[in-house]
A and B are shown apart, each in its own frame.
Chain A
């Protein structure tokens, strides 16, 4: 068979694949605007925004949404510094211990989320029995701790990838000029890592926000958006759930677009600084893609590729 034929077959396959990826989401989106109380896309009876109204009046969901926002922000505050430290330590671990350290740090990504949730609850329950206080036995706190255990690993992989390209000569130059260790860390390393810190924060927030498996155990009797949703979906299906999905998809698209715009502002800035810098950042794929790819890569146990 000729390669040309294979090319066409491949392209056709990719097209079918994309339909498969987007069809369920498209059906869900259409059903959010359709009148039947049982969510369906076909036949399309009449356009309505009723399900969005219902969504806005759903107190349980709003409560869960607020909790999810809090948890997401706290996870960012915990997981990003931990991931950063984990990546710096990775570079300094004795070479013979490095693969052991690596396996230990990425293990939380491979362990099923359900098991992370269970073990977190068991451990902190023991701690609170032992300490005689129930302050540690709080759903939001346990969720933050449980989620951070694997989200820190995602963050670490992002930092590791960027650190691999760090020019040690910068540090040495700073030391020669009389800088202290803390100054070098704060004024050389952190500014260099800033893009990675930003994408780690976005990644950590989104991973936390959409997490269900760990959360459903660790949240105890409290609720987040995903656990409220799971309850509603199990009880029965309503187009209000579709409406929520539409909102999430829309917000995600907006976030990706604004990330793109921010990147272009960064592009202008780097053009001012140096032409080479501009060419290099122009050659990079869109920011949303980077975060997504890095999540997949992080999860794929692959250091993100050099860009």
Chain B
């Protein structure tokens, strides 16, 4: 068994070691370039600016991004202990937090932790569904923006699209609550017209939650798609049309393959945001809704079991990343492709 103290130190040293290795490799590689080698970092920026650049970028990537994530992973493999026992003999590495996620108990493995596993699966499946629906809804809009709208009309549309998203998550979810509640707009309207005799429980059936989540990430889908569709060659579409391709054929076999990277980046973004959504499930979730993020939240502030919460958070993160990378593999794209 590795001692916890050393494991922790090693983990926290990791980003520094990685930086040193990459810096050294760069220096060696530049030296190998001989006469045409580029100037070193400080020769190029001067000391005052060089130190600012290094300090700011280093603090960001190491202290604000890498170390917290590594601490979280480290904590997820530890026991829940009172502060005075941390570093003591009972402070060892363990899988009990992950065991709890799978089996609902830190010791026995006889039965599955149905509630949490189901919530996790539901969150992933619902997020995939939300991503797909969002794509279907936003594709025509992005196509219209990129290929049909021009000039002032385009500018007006862009402003109109962006304006609703300056309102924060909670208020947006609240607006959906007003629209979908028992005495809300839709029920009032439907009752008034006489199409239904009883108000529909939109919140209990999770319809409000789905609508709210789709709405929340619309902008994140429209803009990557818009950028991608905007760069598709018009000549390609014209050629296909001249050759007699039906309109759906043009979209499916010409436009979409050409815009593949943009589609993938919009979908990745919406999927990651939807799985991590917290406001909409809290405000719009019915009594029986179990989104995974509120469960993670409860590990921290209801159960007060931080190591377990860390494990749950890591399961969520690792699950999403694994899924996104698999999907990109299938589409023959790399992370760098969708990032460009």
A-B CB proximity, top 7 nearest = A112-B276, A181-B46, A292-B162, A85-B56, A210-B168, A296-B223, A300-B224
**Interchain CB contact under 8 A, B178 and A39:** yes
**Interchain CB contact under 8 A, B276 and A212:** no
> Is B166 positioned at the interface, with any CB of A under 8 Å from its CB?
yes
Docked CA distance A20–B168 (Å): 17
Additional 7 contacts, C-beta under 8 A, given A103-B339, A226-B168, A248-B171: A99-B339, A116-B68, A118-B310, A210-B167, A234-B282, A296-B223, A300-B223
**Interchain CB contact under 8 A, A82 and B60:** yes
CB distance from A281 to the nearest CB of B (A): 14
Q: Which residues of A contact B223 (CB under 8 A)?
A: 293, 296-297, 299-300, 302
**Interchain CB contact under 8 A, A118 and B269:** no
**Interchain CB contact under 8 A, B48 and A182:** yes
Interface residues of B (CB under 8 A from A): 22, 25-26, 29-30, 41, 44-50, 52-57, 59-61, 64-65, 67-69, 71-72, 75, 83, 86, 137, 140-141, 143-144, 148, 155, 157-179, 181, 183-185, 188-189, 215, 218-220, 222-224, 227, 230, 241, 246-247, 262, 265-266, 268-269, 272-273, 275-279, 282-283, 293, 296-297, 300, 306, 309-310, 313, 316-317, 320, 335-336, 338-340
Q: Which residues of B contact A18 (CB under 8 A)?
A: 160
Give the nearest-CB partner of B141 in chain A.
Answer: A17
**Interchain CB contact under 8 A, B265 and A212:** no
Q: Which residues of A contact B158 (CB under 8 A)?
A: 285, 289, 292-293
> Is A23 positioned at the interface, with any CB of B under 8 Å from its CB?
yes
Does more than half of chain A's interface fall in helix, strand or loop, or is it mixed? helix
A123-B220 CB under 8 A given contacts A97-B26, A181-B48, A288-B159: no
**Interchain CB contact under 8 A, A122 and B68:** yes
Give 15 CB contacts A-B under 8 Å. A10-B148, A41-B178, A41-B185, A84-B56, A92-B44, A120-B68, A122-B75, A181-B46, A212-B170, A213-B293, A217-B300, A292-B166, A299-B220, A300-B266, A302-B223
Docked CA distance A300–B170 (Å): 22
Q: Which residues of A contact B137 (CB under 8 A)?
A: 17
Q: Which residues of B contact A244 (CB under 8 A)?
A: 171
**Interchain CB contact under 8 A, B170 and A229:** yes
**Interchain CB contact under 8 A, A297 and B313:** no
> Is A282 positioned at the interface, with any CB of B under 8 Å from its CB?
no
Interface residues of A (CB under 8 A from B): 1, 3, 6-7, 10-11, 13-14, 17-18, 20-25, 27-28, 31, 38-43, 81-82, 84-86, 88-89, 92-94, 96-97, 99, 102-108, 110-116, 118-120, 122-124, 126, 129, 145, 148-149, 152, 180-182, 185, 206, 209-213, 216-217, 226, 229-230, 233-234, 237, 241-242, 244-245, 248-249, 252-253, 256, 285-286, 288-289, 292-293, 296-297, 299-303, 305
Give the nearest-CB partner of B67 in chain A.
Answer: A123
**Interchain CB contact under 8 A, B155 and A286:** yes
Q: Which of A1, A112, A212 contacts B169 (CB 8 A)?
A: A212
Q: Which residues of A contact B164 (CB under 8 A)?
A: 21-22, 25
**Interchain CB contact under 8 A, A213 and B279:** yes
A38-B183 CB under 8 A given contacts A94-B29, A118-B300: yes
Docked CA distance A171–B183 (Å): 65
A212-B185 CB under 8 A given contacts A13-B141, A21-B218, A181-B46: no
